Amino acid sequence: MGQADRNRLASCATIGDDDAMRDDSSGFPLFLGLISGTSTDGIDAAIVRFGDDGRSAELLFGRTYAWPSDLRARLVELGQRGIELSLDAIGELDHRIGRIFAEAANHALHDSGIPRERISAIGSHGQTLRHRPQGEYPFTMQLGDPNLIAEQCGVRVVADFRRRDVAAGGHGAPLLPALHAALLTSPLEDRAVVNLGGIANITLLPTGNEGYGEVRGFDTGPANGLMDAWCLRHTGAGYDRDGAFALSGRVDTALLSTLLQEPWFSVPAPKSTGRDQFHLGWLEHHLGGQETPADVQATLLALTARTVADALNAAQPGTSRLIACGGGVHNPALMRALAATLPRITVESSAAHGLDPDLVEAMGFAWLARQTLLGLPGNLPGVTGAKGLRVLGAIYSG
């Protein structure tokens, strides 16, 4: 996701607005992807045209739409504090989030000038409330009623992508490695993709992997989520613009060492996590009380870079290029820290490969909607740990 107040009302389209109404002479259908990630800093909407093999993509329009401030505050609070909710509260949230997602989709259609009749389906991820894919009763819960989206947009909706993978014994996450493999695999070098959202996750793309079989991916730990929450508490700003808050402090090596001892970091893949594990309560448990806020922010940034680097070095030591997407790309301090921690690897934004880093995830859920409509699998068992390939999601008629 992009910075919370950055370009929410500015188009990220790869073609001009005047071109958005042109005839789709390729004959390939269009899909609209919607996602609000663990950072909860906006709803990304992307209208995408895919090639017939699904291994090429053209972003026709992209934009991030803001959450209502009260609802965003509520969602962040739920993620950070692990508050238990009544059934009524969950139902009301499901409805409110569904309405906001529908509004984002309708705004995207209006702002792009693309008629809704050209959209084959909306792929909606929803907003994750809880992600607990392990234990005796594993589950993952995304809110945002797809019935409301279909009803208010008049377009077919594909949603609830993660739970079929969990039902098959997987983590239901991450789901984007298949798209990363389709668009970013190289015949010349081992690559990896890191998504720097609220949580960081990596996709490993070995040289010339044409069949997805060797692709792996997993969450590596916190990224923007903890840094944003700490920054909000101590500065009042929703994120650390350009990493200035972190740069005003110094890495507390003792604290960093303590944080790195978190047992989750040593759990083998497949694995996934979320705000319900890496939240301010988790951080506060490890603080001694003498740390300055700026030093803690610097240490959290170092934690993100270190855990990404450690995971990458262990899982694919021959990586030549790390391609970054997500909101963390806009934090130059974080990007420099990644480069410094991985001195033999080229670290660059997905923009260098023609993919807007703020919209890769939304494009991914457009791609997953396409897979579902074609009856094709959307998961990679080597990534999620599921028993096999599965067609993901449920279809809601428009």
pLDDT at 40: 80
Chain mean pLDDT for the chain: 90
pLDDT of residue 233: 94
Longest dimension (CA), the chain: 64
DSSP letters for 254-323: HHHHHHHT-GGGGSPSS----TTTSSHHHHHHH--S---HHHHHHHHHHHHHHHHHHHHHHH-TT--EEE
pLDDT for the residue 165: 97
Looking at per-residue pLDDT, the higher value among 211 and 223 belongs to: 223
Task: Domain 177-353: give its CATH superfamily.
Answer: ATPase, nucleotide binding domain (3.30.420.40)
The model's pLDDT over 43-77, given as tens digits with 9 standing for 90+, comes to: 999 999 999 888 889 999 999 999 998 998 888 78
Q: Is pLDDT of 106 > 90?
A: yes
Average pLDDT over residues 160-179: 95
Task: Give me the CATH topology for the region 17-171+359-396.
Answer: Nucleotidyltransferase; domain 5 (3.30.420)
* Amino acid (one-letter) located at 220: T
- What mean pLDDT is predicted for residues 272-282? 90
Task: Report the alpha-carbon distance of residue 294 to residue 304 in Å, rounded.
Answer: 16
Over residues 374-386, mean pLDDT? 94
The confidence band for 82, taking pLDDT boundaries of 50, 70 and 90, is low
Tens-place pLDDT, residues 114-156: 999 999 999 999 999 888 998 899 999 999 999 999 999 999 9
Q: How far is CA 139 from CA 63, 130, 136, 250, 290, in A?
A: 30, 8, 10, 39, 38
Return the pLDDT at 77.
80
Residue 16: per-residue pLDDT: 30
17-171+359-396 and 177-353 agree in CATH topology:
yes
The region of weakest confidence among 1-5, 248-252, 282-286, 312-316 is: 1-5
* pLDDT of the residue at 368: 97
Separation of CA 41 from chain center: 11
Which tokens sit at 39?
Answer: 């950072």
The full set of domain ranges for the chain reads 17-171+359-396, 177-353
pLDDT of residue 1: 37
Tell me the mean pLDDT in the region 158-184. Answer: 95
pLDDT tens string 5-48:
333 323 333 323 333 323 344 457 899 999 997 778 799 999 99
Q: Tell me: the pLDDT tens digits for 202-213?
A: 999 998 665 555
What is the structure's pLDDT at 381? 93
Of all residues in the chain, the percent with pLDDT exceeding 90 is: 80
Cβ–Cβ under 8 Å, residues 192 and 205: yes
Please give the structure tokens belonging to residue 120: 């084959």
Place of tokens 């949603």: 159
Give mean pLDDT, residues 176-189: 92
pLDDT at residue number 213: 54
The residues, any chain, with a CB within 8 Å of residue 230's CB and separated by 6 or more, are 280, 283, 293, 296, 297, 300
**Ramachandran area for residue 27 (φ above 0: left; ψ -120 to 50: alpha; else beta):** left
